[in-house]
Amino acid sequence: MKTSDFNFHLPDELLAEHPSEHRDEAKLMVLNRATQTIEHKKFKDVVDYFNEHDLFIFNDTKVFPARLFGNKEKTGAKIEVFLLRELDKETRVWDVLVDPARKIRIGNKLFFTEDEGLVAEVIDNTTSRGRTLRFLYDGSYEEFRAKLKELGQTPLPKYIKREVEPEDAERYQTIYAKHEGAVAAPTAGLHFSKHLMKKLEIKGIDFAEITLHVGLGTFNPIEVEDLSKHKMESEEAIITQKNADIINKAVTEQRRVCAVGTTTMRAIETSVSSNKKIGPYHGWTNKFIFPPHDFGVANAMITNFHTPKSTLMMMVAAFAGKDFLMQAYEEAVKNEYKFYSYGDAMLII
């Protein structure tokens, strides 16, 4: 498989700038792998495809407001700082992306408040846009994190050209988000409403949760034609013993097991053993899934529509079958499904 095998024409107007008004009212395309048929539904209809004791696995990561704006010392130039990950809690050292990067060198200081209460010093260059910052803040760690949250903006994807709106803070977050650490939302989960979760519960559907803190590496473009040469950036994944047991029970009983999103799928495929059992896991994963791939746990998947030649699209192609997925994407464009983070959804069974 080559990167160019996953190209298709995506009109700009199909990139969703705003979410649907109600979470579960987005369009849902249902792909049946056994019959090779496609149905067009609403997301709330997902409940009709599952029975009592089938299992949904959710990614309960929580997005933090990772986009900050500071001013460079002396020149006052406005610099965007995108927080990627905390490297050292004690010394308040972070990996970040800066824009424009050409202006930011080791030793520069960035000021985030007029009273100079929050300052960062550049201590390393990591990539062309990557920097390591040490934050200087006169207060406790909790106060420092509260200040980052106060100044930070919801990290909407770059393709969304509009300004961040107040409601993005709530809508770019799943309703079951618990553990803060992601810089992008696990977007398949954005379609679940409290009402839909209740309907699934009443039907007797079981739930399990994993945590995978989504990083920007998920969205990095692939710059090689040979997929085996692409390196994914690592993301932190956590699966508890309790949730591993819930998943293993469903697999043993041959229930339908649905991974909600590519991030959930990456986490469970990282921790599954050759006998198709999930073990507890806390570590980093750079697993890149593309066709052909033998999936160990999930036999159903919910996902969004992804951009051409993306690693996300490749994982879904490995699950649905590449030709069937390309057919579905063609149909999605024809029927004006919305793509990407705030877009419509797909159920593959």
| 12-36 pLDDT tens trace | 999 999 999 999 999 999 999 999 9
| Residue 218: per-residue pLDDT | 72
3-class DSSP string for the chain: CEHHHHCCCCCHHHECCCCCCCHHHCEEEEEECCCCEEEEEEHHHHHHHCCCCCEEEEECEEECCCEEEEEECCCCCEEEEEEEEEEECCCCEEEEEEECHHHCCCCCEEECCCCCCEEEEEEEECCCCEEEEEEEECCCHHHHHHHHHHHCECCCCCCCCCCCCCCHHHHCCCCCCCEEEECCCCHHHHHCCHHHHHHHHHCCCEEEEEEECCCHHHHCCCCCCEHHHCCCCCEEEEECHHHHHHHHHHHHCCCCEEEECHHHHHHHHHHECCCCCECCEEEEECCCCCCCCCCCCCCEEEEECCCCCCHHHHHHHHHHCHHHHHHHHHHHHHCCCCECCCCCEEEEC
In angstroms, the CA 281 to CA 132 distance is 28
Q: Which two tokens stand for residue 321?
A: 């079958």
CA 175 to chain centre: 14
Query: pLDDT by residue (tens digit) across 142-156?
Result: 999 999 999 999 999
The CATH H-level (homologous superfamily) assignment of domain 67-153 is: QueA-like (2.40.10.240)
Q: Is the pLDDT of residue 217 over 80?
A: no
| Residue 72: per-residue pLDDT | 95
Return the number of other C-beta atoms located less than 10 Å from residue 133's C-beta: 25
Domain with CATH 3.40.1780.10 in the chain: 3-63+169-348
For the chain, the maximum distance between any two Cα atoms, rounded to a whole number of angstroms, is 65
What average pLDDT does the structure give for the chain? 95
Backbone angles phi, psi at 334, to 5 degrees: -60, -35
Q: Which residues are paired to 125 by β-bridges?
A: 131
Return the number of other C-beta atoms located less than 10 Å from residue 99's C-beta: 15
| Residue 80: per-residue pLDDT | 95
What topology is assigned to 3-63+169-348 in CATH?
A: QueA-like (3.40.1780)
Query: pLDDT by residue (tens digit) across 299-337?
Result: 999 999 999 999 999 999 999 999 999 999 999 999 999
Quick one: what percent of the chain has pLDDT higher than 90? 91
Q: Is the pLDDT of residue 264 over 80?
A: yes
Domain with CATH 2.40.10.240 in the chain: 67-153
Residue 167 and residue 51 in contact, taking contact as beta carbons nearer than 8 Å = no
In angstroms, the CA 91 to CA 126 distance is 18
| Residue 336: per-residue pLDDT | 97
| Residue 211: per-residue pLDDT | 98
**pTM for the full predicted model:** 0.94
| Residue 233: per-residue pLDDT | 87
275-284 burial string, b = 16+ CB within 10 Å, else e?
eeebeebeee
